[in-house]
Structure 1
Amino acid sequence: MGLSDILNDKAVKASVVNDCALLIDRQVAAKGGLGGMALKAAYGVVKGAGPGYIPGAIERILPEVVNALEPMWAEGLQAGDPVAHLSQNQTQTAEVILGVTDRRIAKTDNGLVRSSYNKLRQSVKGDVAGAVPGLAEILGAHSSVPQ
């Protein structure tokens, strides 16, 4: 069974989306300093768009992210622990995830969104990499991988 199988069951997919939203909330809340204040302010604006905005965005991008992570997940399965494999390869995993957002941004007609994303792209790479172990745990918990 592949990683994408977690998307076949609507209840499991909804649980993954919820867990990812909570992970993002925790990651943002843990940020400190001036950069953390700016990130928290921006995240607050996004969350202010509506209570379902963040989960909705996760739900829309999740199939692409899971599909992009599938080869790394398969490598981890062959090595015996896909969760550990993603976590041990945080930078590579983050690049795969950001590659999905890069492709989506490239298709947008909104120049402001594209410009804002491009300005933040490098600075958020570390944040995305830092979230990889939590994401790997979420994926592992909802997959058929023995825990």
Structure 2
Amino acid sequence: MTSLTERLSQVDRQKVINDTAALIEREVAAKSGISGMAIKGGYKVVKKVKPNMIEEAIDNLLDSFTGALNPLYQDYVENAALSTFEAYLKQHEDRAANDLLSITDARAERADNKLLKSTYGKLRGQAEKHVKEALPEVGRLIDRYAPKDA
């Protein structure tokens, strides 16, 4: 069976990166309240430190993220009665969020940039909630580029 990473390698990577960056922009913009202000502030810091950092990070982490989601994707393709990966992720949001955050946690731990590391550390406590909120759109993005029946 073809992995999610392999399936996404068959499409225009830059388009996937751009769509993922747009997804992140929408998710950040939709945040509200005190935690939303912290996320928006942290995002602003990242964009100021290096304007294209989000796109570079997506490019660097895309294969790791798709690898982390691959076991769920394989189960969805082989066994799930659900017609979309979006719906499948909603049913497995705890596992999906933790699998994705394990990638960023490891990267943050190895980061040399103290400002970025500190910003991530301050935001990490709420990260699982925010990742879960983004999962439906992540699922739609994967459905678009790696549909079950392709």
Q: Report the CA distance between 1:138 and its aligned residue.
A: 0.3
Secondary structure (helix, strand or coil) at the match of 2:135 reads helix
**Alpha-carbon distance in structure 2 between the residues aligned to 1:48 and 1:113:** 11
Could you list the per-position Cα deviations for residues 76-95 of structure 1 after superposition, in whole angstroms to 9, with x for gaps in the alignment? Answer: 11214461211221121110
1:108 paired with 2:111, answer yes
Secondary structure (helix, strand or coil) at the match of 1:98 reads helix
Mapping of residues 124-143 of structure 1, within 5 Å? 124-143=127-146
8 Å Cα contact 1:16/1:139 also seen in 2: no
User: Match of 1:79?
Assistant: 80
User: Match of 1:66?
Assistant: 66
User: Match of 2:35?
Assistant: 35
Q: Report the CA distance between 1:140 and its aligned residue.
A: 1.2
Secondary structure (helix, strand or coil) at the match of 1:95 reads helix
Q: What is the number of residues matched between the two proteins?
A: 146
Matched to 2:7, the amino acid is I
8 Å Cα contact 2:42/2:119 also seen in 1: no
Matched to 1:105, the amino acid is A
**Alpha-carbon distance in structure 2 between the residues aligned to 1:26 and 1:137:** 14
Comparing 41-50 with 93-102, greater Cα deviation is found at 41-50
The TM-score normalised by the length of structure 2 is: 0.84
User: Match of 2:98?
Assistant: 95
Q: Report the CA distance between 1:135 and its aligned residue.
A: 0.4
Identity within the alignment, %: 34
Q: Report the CA distance between 1:51 and its aligned residue.
A: 4.0
8 Å Cα contact 1:90/1:133 also seen in 2: no
Instruction: Name stretches of at least 5 consecutive residues in structure 1 with no aligned partner.
Output: none
User: Match of 1:52?
Assistant: 52
Comparing 57-66 with 71-80, greater Cα deviation is found at 71-80
Instruction: Name stretches of at least 5 consecutive residues in structure 2 with no aligned partner.
Output: none
1:146 paired with 2:149, answer yes
Structure 1 residues 30, 50: closer, same or farther in 2, change over 3 A? same
User: Match of 1:8?
Assistant: 9
